[in-house]
Structure 1
Amino acid sequence: MRRVVITGLGAVTPLGNDVASTWDGLKSGRSGISRLTTFDCSTFPVRIAGQVTGFAGERGLSRAAGFGLAAAREALADAGEGWRAIPPRERGVAFGGTVGRPELDELTELADRLETGELPRQRTGEVRRREQNTGIAAIARAGDCRGPFVSVSTACAGAAHALGEAMRRIQEGDCRLVLAGGFDALTTWLDVLGFALLRALTSEYDDEPARASRPFDARRSGFVLGEGAVVAVLEDAEHAAARGARVHGELLGYGSTLNAYRITDSPPDGGGAAGAMRKALAESGVEASEVDYVAAHGTGTPGNDLSETRAIKAVFGEHAAALSVSSPKSMTGHLTSAAAGVNLVAAVGALREQLVPPTINLEHPDPELDLDYVPGTARRRPVRTACVNAFAFGGANASFVLGAPR
């Protein structure tokens, strides 16, 4: 079976519009959460989010797809020119994303038209812009990818599932290169209101946005929405070596499970999450004791953080106490379909610099959460292998094991 390596990375996140600034923000513990500006939130119960700033957008694409295309261009440039030697039919795409939502003024116009009996009309460009696959098709054009096309909609696990499915396509010989990752922008009135009504979002720090996202803290009260995209160039290791490509890391194993528990809650025993990690470790051939860092899903909701902690303990046993575990969401907020991509950037950075990014805002220890969550400040330590987690609404779980370049 073919080995799969990462030869390019691109990112657009609340911490910056490229990988370098995103990683710099993660390792320095800088928060990218601020007052919402994507709509008038003055009457909303939640008024903060992790927002992308200084981004011009892409004509004809949704806000989220624009992030994805920009990140894909950076990833392709980072991979160097040698990838072009792979025939287009052996290049694929695999992405997690969500369908775009209508704006409030569009719904108001629609309601007015319906009251008068006038047939509502939609501009073709607007319908196309909101379609999830439009953005993926634009990314495919950027890399002239004419091979496998994988579009995943598994909410907060989308990017992890996309990376895992891309890995499979290369392992099984369907193609030799895949552009993979996730993009999302749920900083809309509808999404903020919906998650707020579910009581999933914290509403306690609207006046102190940088303190709002508090994974694993005893006073955590919900997550903070974010937006952005992360894209990786996954490549057949043999081809990457032949062309002398720089390798960021190797995808060693992938696991996916379903909780079949509740739509919005993880099972208290962490069963589904533990299953995904076990599968990823089994495929990788890596012993649990050889993992040094877990880039945690770590949302900051009471149930998720407890469930993930129990899952890590169940999988790693006594070695769990020696792990470094941190949540990038403490700085970026929850990028939903792109969330696992930010965790990938954290894991790649940790492998490259032997530096684990912190979990910020962890100020009040929770006696039920007793792992090393790297509170406050990044920590230098040997990192040979990392586990990346992503767990979603609906109970979808995905994990993958990332190793340092051989």
Structure 2
Amino acid sequence: MRRVAITGIGAVTPLGTNARDTWRGLAEGRSGVSRLETFDASTFPVRIAGQVKDFDPASAGTARQRRHLSRAALFAVAAAREALEDAGGWEELDPYDRGAAVAGTVGRPELQELVDMSHQLTESDFHDLYRQAPGDVLLRNQNVGVTAVARAGGCQGPVISVSTACAGAAHAIGEAYRRIQDGECALMLAGGFDALTTWMDVLGFSLLGAVTDRWNDEPERASRPFDAERSGFVLGEGAVITVLEDWDSAVARGARIHAELVGYGSTLNAYRITDSPPDGGGAISAMRDALAESGLGTDGIDYIAAHGTGTPGNDASETVAIKEVFGPHARTLCTSSPKSMTGHLTSAAAGVNLVAALGAIREGLVPPTINLEHPDPKLDLDYVPNTAVRRPVRAAMVNAFAFGGTNACFVVRSASDSPSASASGSGSAPTSTDAAADAPERRAA
């Protein structure tokens, strides 16, 4: 079975329009949550979100290429182009040996469009039915964004479109990993994109009671994973795309290797659509499967990039699952939630966690969980409160647990710690920061 290297990464997130700035924001513990600007939310119970700022659509290609891409898909193509540039030299691979596995936003009409359509249907006869431009259909088609990412890499091999909500990017990365392991292709673009910052999305999640409405006047304090006063997650938007590559192929062409992907697990809770099971449920099995495949053992993981949404049930369930899987080591490893800084990027969420994991491995710096001001006595792990800490990270686990009960988990290991490692090097995701230099040092127990 082939080994899998991570040779490129690109990101468009509330912390920056590239992977470097996103990692810098995570390391500094900076919040990307602000007042909503994508629509007038002044009358909504929730008026904040993690939004992408200063994004240049031209970074997603030419005007012709962008014509049928949604806001979220533009993020994805820009992230893919950055990841490919980071990987370098991929053009020498056969196009039929390149593929893509990407989780995308679920397209649908805007609520205002549905209202207009309803008026048309009730006030006009059959011959005046609501009409829309054909291109509008493409803007809402999830597969258009996925194939646009594939096209950016000239991929003519397997293309997989994933739709598993908040676990989407983790599933996409895991499925891409399997394709390379099995020898189906040598390179896969993998990750996710989403932009649930429309008024239909904000209203829907508000009615569901899943998002917090307590911090409209202090948005940067709203996302509070593992805090005793957590009251729901914060919606976000963005994209993270990574380049996965056959290890031997990457070494042969002299590619810089960020890390090795060494384990993947995927399960279903079969519990409830929106709630995480109090006993940890299928998250336990997913984590165990990924850990077993990695061959590292529980003490081989130094950092967990947690799903950590900030909802009371999810954070408690994930903590229980981590304790069950890691036993006593659960209290000596670091666990933190990037969502405290970016909000919840749903289909792209696990991609942000991967940026955190790669940065932690490369720099020996674990990003924090910000806004952790009131410890919950029931949640007693090391969540790296508020400030990044210096600590050697040989391997990290990325968690993603979604609505519908889907769970995905994968493990990445330092390229220099991989057996017979022949190539490693710095890429665009990690970079030194002032926060890194000032971070306290913490040794493993």
Q: TM-score, normalised by structure 1?
A: 0.99
Q: Does 1:86 align with 2:96?
A: no
CA distance in 2, matches of 1:285, 1:56: 42
In structure 1, the partner of 2:4 is 4
In structure 2, the partner of 1:48 is 48
In structure 2, the partner of 1:133 is 143
CA contact 1:101–1:190 (8 Å) conserved in 2 = no
In structure 1, the partner of 2:265 is 255
CA distance in 2, matches of 1:337, 1:105: 24
Q: Does 1:102 align with 2:109?
A: yes
1:13-32 aligned within 5 A:
13-32=13-32
In structure 1, the partner of 2:39 is 39
Q: CA deviation at 1:102?
A: 1.8
CA distance in 1, matches of 2:407, 2:379: 20
1:195-206 aligned within 5 A:
195-206=205-216
Instruction: Report the residue type matching 1:282 in the other structure.
Output: A
Instruction: Report the residue type matching 2:15 in the other structure.
Output: L
1:95-142 deviation line (CA, Å, top 9, x unaligned): 111222322432232122112222111211000111000011111111
Q: Does 1:305 align with 2:312?
A: no
CA distance in 1, matches of 2:43, 2:280: 37
In structure 2, the partner of 1:143 is 153
Q: Does 1:336 align with 2:343?
A: no
SS of aligned partner of 2:38: coil
Instruction: Report the residue type matching 2:384 in the other structure.
Output: V
Instruction: Report the residue type matching 1:125 in the other structure.
Output: G
CA contact 2:96–2:156 (8 Å) conserved in 1 = yes
Q: Does 1:381 align with 2:388?
A: no
CA contact 2:169–2:349 (8 Å) conserved in 1 = yes
Task: Extract unaligned runs of 5+ from structure 1.
Answer: none
1:329-366 deviation line (CA, Å, top 9, x unaligned): 00000000000000000000000000000000000000
CA contact 1:295–1:328 (8 Å) conserved in 2 = yes
Between 296-305 and 58-67, the greater mean CA deviation after superposition = 58-67
Instruction: Report the residue type matching 1:127 in the other structure.
Output: V
1:176-222 deviation line (CA, Å, top 9, x unaligned): 00000000000111111111111100000000000000000000000
CA distance in 2, matches of 1:287, 1:281: 7
Instruction: Report the residue type matching 2:245 in the other structure.
Output: E
CA distance in 2, matches of 1:328, 1:101: 28
CA distance in 1, matches of 2:67, 2:221: 35
Task: Extract unaligned runs of 5+ from structure 2.
Answer: 58-65, 417-445
CA distance in 1, matches of 2:90, 2:181: 17
1:32-81 deviation line (CA, Å, top 9, x unaligned): 0000111111111100000001123343200110000000000000001x
Instruction: Report the residue type matching 2:121 in the other structure.
Output: L
In structure 2, the partner of 1:113 is 120
Sequence identity (%): 71
CA contact 2:104–2:145 (8 Å) conserved in 1 = no
CA distance in 2, matches of 1:66, 1:108: 26
Instruction: Report the residue type matching 1:220 in the other structure.
Output: R
1:354-404 deviation line (CA, Å, top 9, x unaligned): 000000000000000000000010000010010000000000000001000
1:231-279 deviation line (CA, Å, top 9, x unaligned): 0000000000011110111100000000000000010010211110000
Instruction: Report the residue type matching 1:139 in the other structure.
Output: V
Instruction: Report the residue type matching 1:87 in the other structure.
Output: D
CA distance in 2, matches of 1:130, 1:249: 34
> How many residue pairs get matched?
405
In structure 1, the partner of 2:76 is 68
CA contact 2:103–2:146 (8 Å) conserved in 1 = no
Q: CA deviation at 1:318?
A: 0.6
CA distance in 2, matches of 1:300, 1:140: 33
1:116-173 deviation line (CA, Å, top 9, x unaligned): 2221112110001110000111111111100001111000000000000000000001
**Aligned Cα root-mean-square deviation (Å):** 0.8
1:194-233 aligned within 5 A:
194-233=204-243
Q: Does 1:185 align with 2:195?
A: yes
Instruction: Report the residue type matching 2:373 in the other structure.
Output: E
Q: CA deviation at 1:283?
A: 0.7
CA distance in 1, matches of 2:287, 2:93: 32
